[in-house]
Amino acid sequence: MTDYKAVYFIGIGGIGMSAIARYYLQRGLVVGGYDKTPSALTHELEKEGALVHYEDDVHQIPEACRNEASTLVVYTPAIPSSHSELQYFIASHFDLQKRAQVLGTLTRSHKGLCVAGTHGKTTTSSMTAHLLHQSQVNCNAFLGGITNNYGTNYILAPESDYVVIEADEFDRSFHWLSPFATVITATDPDHLDIYGTEEAYLESFRHYTELIQQGGYLIIHEGLKMQPNVQEGVTTFTYSRTSGDFHATHLRIGNGQITFDLVSPLGDIADISLGVPVSVNIENGIAAMALAQIAGVTAEEIRRAMATFSGVQRRFDFRVKTAKVAYLSDYAHHPEELRACIRSIREVYTGRRIVGIFQPHLYTRTRDFYREFADALSDLDEVILTEIYPARELPIPGVTSQLILDNLRPGVSGRLIRKADVVGEVRKLDFDVLMTLGAGDLEDYSAAIAEEVKKKK
């Protein structure tokens, strides 16, 4: 990685890709890239010195990125093989690597603290990075979301031996990693367009556990269907909210606060307060603290950092919070993520009217899980559905948001609206808490939604 003078990113605006781009920018390399759509992230990268364009046009590739001997090309699996810039680099014999390959190299030159799982990855890895960064240990970090503490998805600490990485199972990307220690939060089936079956999905996680370095650590949530297969010399711990090697006790929830004691084989810690007090963060926090203890972060450093962790954009991200109303945005796009998110909010806002606006993500995911989506969303007092966000997919005949609507539990109020009408819909809604949910572009309306919610004070 030290021989390159330039790095070119195909899909530079992705949350994971942009973190690596920032790594190379801070190391003084020329960074160029293509993305389909301008965004806040790409504009920030341009301000930081990246050369970005938005058309699939070989002629717009910067001259400094055209030397195959000194340019690394990084691409995301979401880029189609027909992409003309990708074809140019292949034909010209550039060194092409997937984003996960680059991260894998970092786990072999540093001690990788990785967080894998169907859900909880971004918050848990961001918490872990915050715990280490606020301690004498410090860390580098490549995260799947923008942290509210730092306003970025990347932390650079050249003096630290540790790198925190969100281990993504999509396209089996996490198989490139060699973790020193890893958490596995959940293995609820997802990405069945890639894996085909639940068994293949679970096998992918099992193989991931084989990649943990000798002398390393696995921290796995209790009760997962997947059986790990670690090599000799790897220490395995379990965790959950109330049991396992790492768990919480003396849990206190009330007045907008969550406090508990950590039971840990590496040393118990009393009176931990969550900076983002939602119940799902109890388990996220337990997993993050386990990784931090393994890395040598002290009890007092952990206690202080847990209280100051202010969350990740689009993960229980409160945009409005008053005595009367609240509005939050969350990235939840899998049925179990939705279930955990909604139940966490119900625990904090007991007896309040909670309404959710959900934008399904991917036709295949909707086809595979529409019944599960409907069941999870039925925990809301009212469900508003928009059209499916396609991302990388073409429509599938008969697969629409209507499938979810038709399977809501009897008595649950629900309806379909166009995404373009969402702000006007908010004006008419009756709620104490409003949630916008999904991994698509519904987030583009969040600022306007927040303004409407503020009018309801």
Domains and CATH numbers, the chain: 6-97 (3.40.50.720), 110-308 (3.40.1190.10), 317-454 (3.90.190.20)
**Cα–Cα nearest to 439, from 344, 384, 359:** 359
Confidence grade of residue 191 (pLDDT, cut at 50, 70, 90)? low
Question: What's the rounded mean pLDDT across residues 273-297?
Answer: 94
**Whether the predicted pLDDT of 31 surpasses 60:** yes
Query: Apex CA 118: angle with CA 260 and CA 272, to 5°?
Result: 10
CA distances from 50 to 9, 20, 31, 33, 44 (A): 10, 12, 5, 7, 9
Token couple for 240: 């959950």
**Whether the predicted pLDDT of 396 surpasses 90:** yes
Token couple for 293: 């203890």
**Whether the predicted pLDDT of 456 surpasses 60:** yes
Query: Apex CA 350: angle with CA 276 and CA 308, to 5°?
Result: 10
Strand order across the 354-358 sheet: 317-321, 326-330, 433-437, 354-358, 382-385, 413-416
Question: What's the rounded mean pLDDT across residues 282-287?
Answer: 96
User: What average pLDDT does the structure give for the chain?
Assistant: 91
Q: Greater confidence, 348 or 167?
A: 167
User: Would you put residue 172 in left (φ > 0), alpha (ψ -120 to 50) or beta?
Assistant: left
**Whether the predicted pLDDT of 1 surpasses 70:** no
Write down the pLDDT at residue 363. 93
CA distances from 249 to 56, 148, 244, 258, 395 (A): 54, 28, 11, 12, 47
Alpha carbons 196 and 53: distance in angstroms, whole number = 35
Is 177 within 8 Å of 112 (Cβ atoms)? yes
Alpha carbons 44 and 61: distance in angstroms, whole number = 19
Alpha carbons 319 and 212: distance in angstroms, whole number = 39
For residue 14, with 0-12 CB atoms within 10 Å meaning exposed, 13-18 middle and 19 or more buried, which class applies?
Answer: buried
**Cα–Cα nearest to 178, from 191, 189, 163:** 163
Question: What's the rounded mean pLDDT across residues 15-20?
Answer: 86
Alpha carbons 138 and 22: distance in angstroms, whole number = 18
Q: What is the pTM of this model?
A: 0.74
Strands 257-263 and 354-358: unpaired
Write down the pLDDT at residue 457. 67
**Cα–Cα nearest to 61, from 48, 49, 52, 72:** 52
User: With the C-alpha atoms ordered 378, 382, 387, 391, is the resulting torsion angle positive or negative?
Assistant: negative
Q: CB neighbours of 299 closer than 8 A, spacing ≥ 6?
A: 267, 269
The residue to which tokens 């004498």 are assigned: 136
**Whether the predicted pLDDT of 265 surpasses 90:** yes
For residue 49, with 0-12 CB atoms within 10 Å meaning exposed, 13-18 middle and 19 or more buried, which class applies?
Answer: middle
Is 14 within 8 Å of 77 (Cβ atoms)? no
